[in-house]
Amino acid sequence: MKKKTPKPLKKGFSRRRFLRGAGLTAAGTVIAGSGMLGLKAQQLPEEKSPGAGVLNLSMHVNGRLRQMSVEARTTLADALRNELQLTGTKVGCNRGACAACTVWIDGIPTLSCMTLAVEVGERKVTTIEGLARHGKLHPVQQAFIDHDATQCGFCTSGMLLTTAHLLAQNSGPSAEEVKAATSGNFCRCGTHPKVITATLDAAAKM
């Protein structure tokens, strides 16, 4: 299980990079020879390599079992965004440095750009679209609205899933604890001060 560390992952070589590279080589040799012009990726021959074929997966997302066709190299972020049209999950850097792509896997904040869709298995994924329950906003969502904790909004999904998880673990965090929890979430607009205020307010109201 991937656990989100407070600071961004900085390893130069990830499993995903390796798989993507392997996929490329395989696809390149197999397909270039076949001369099948204009074929969609989904129609490529499946049996040739572990990187190139299409896999049919089912995944628990926001309380539903969803079907999707992905490749072994497809990240969870891309699968959610492109296969399930759950575009609330954002990709800011695609290498685990900005946390905009944060989702929960079994309730734990996870970088979906650093996770392969095939890794998820039976575990339950929650995205920003699944944070509100039964039509009612999560308290941090309401607090972000009340305290103007969004600017452009591109980091907001990641910030919310991070702070909502913090409140699930710690119902009365200090400002320093909110800072520590969000220390991997990059925001270029500078919403951090209001993210802290909003999270503390949400905690007080929960």
Partner 1 sequence: MPHGIPDYNLATVEREVPATEPPAWEVNDKLKVVGKRIKRTDALAKVTGTAVFTADVQLPGMLYGKMFRAGIPHAKIKSIDVSAAQNYPGVFAVHVLEEMIEGANPKSGEKSSRYPDIKYAGQPIAGLAAVSADVAEEAIRLIKVEYEALDFVVDLDEARKPGAPVVFATDVDQEASDGGEDIEQGLKSSGNVRGPSTRSFYGGPRGDLEKGFAEAELIIERTYRTQVQTHCPLETHGVVVDYNQGDVTVFASTQSTKNTRNDFAKAFGLPKSRVRVISEYTGGGFGAKHALGNFGVMAGHLSKISGRPVKLMLDRKEEHISAGNRPNSVQFMKLGAKKDGMLTALKQLSYGTAGVGLGAGVGRIAQAMYDCPNFKTGQYDVFTNAGPGAAFRAPGNVQGAFALEQLIDELAVELDMDPLALREKIDKSMIRKVERERGARRFGWTHKKAGSDKGPVKKGIGVAQAHWPRIVNLDSTVEVRVMRDGAVEVRSAVQDIGTGTKTVLAQVVAEELGLQTEDVTVLIGDTLFPIGPSSGGSIVTGAITPAARNAAYKMKQKLFELAAEKLETDAGNILLEAGTFALKNDAEKKISFKDLLRRMRVEQLTETASRSDDYGGFMVGTIGHGELGSVQFAEVSVDTETGFVQVERMVAAHSCGRPINIGQIESQINGGIIMGIAYALYEDRVIDKSTGHQLNPNIDQYKMPFSFEVPDIQIELIEDYGGRSSTDASGIGEPANIATAPAVANAIYNAIGVRIYDLPITPAKIIAALNNAKNKNDE
* Residues 184 and 8 sit within 8 Å (Cβ to Cβ): yes
Distance CA 202, CA 137 (A): 11
Q: Kind and range of the H or E element at 69?
A: strand 64-71
Shortest spacing between CB 123 and partner 1, in angstroms: 20
Closest CB to partner 1 among residues 57, 91: 91
Nearest to residue 102, comparing CAs of 89, 88, 120?
89
* Residues 112 and 103 sit within 8 Å (Cβ to Cβ): yes
Closest CB to partner 1 among residues 32, 122: 32
Chain positions 3 to 32 lying near partner 1, rule: CB under 8 A, are 8, 10, 20, 23-24, 27-28, 31-32
Paired residues of 110 in beta bridges? 103
Closest CB to partner 1 among residues 122, 178: 178
- H helices within 113-174, ranges in order? 117-120, 139-146, 156-169
Chain positions 145 to 184 lying near partner 1, rule: CB under 8 A, are 145-148, 150-157, 160, 178-180, 182-184
Asked if residue 115 binds partner 1 (CB under 8 A), the reply is no
Closest CB to partner 1 among residues 189, 204: 189
Distance CA 36, CA 71 (A): 19
Chain positions 59 to 78 lying near partner 1, rule: CB under 8 A, are 71, 73-74, 78
The SS3 call for residue 129 is: helix
Shortest spacing between CB 175 and partner 1, in angstroms: 9
Shortest spacing between CB 20 and partner 1, in angstroms: 8
Shortest spacing between CB 37 and partner 1, in angstroms: 6
Chain positions 184 to 203 lying near partner 1, rule: CB under 8 A, are 184-196
β-strand 54-61 against 124-126: which pairing, if any?
parallel
Instruction: Count CB-CB contacts under 10 A for residue 19.
Output: 19
Closest CB to partner 1 among residues 104, 186: 186
Shortest spacing between CB 106 and partner 1, in angstroms: 20
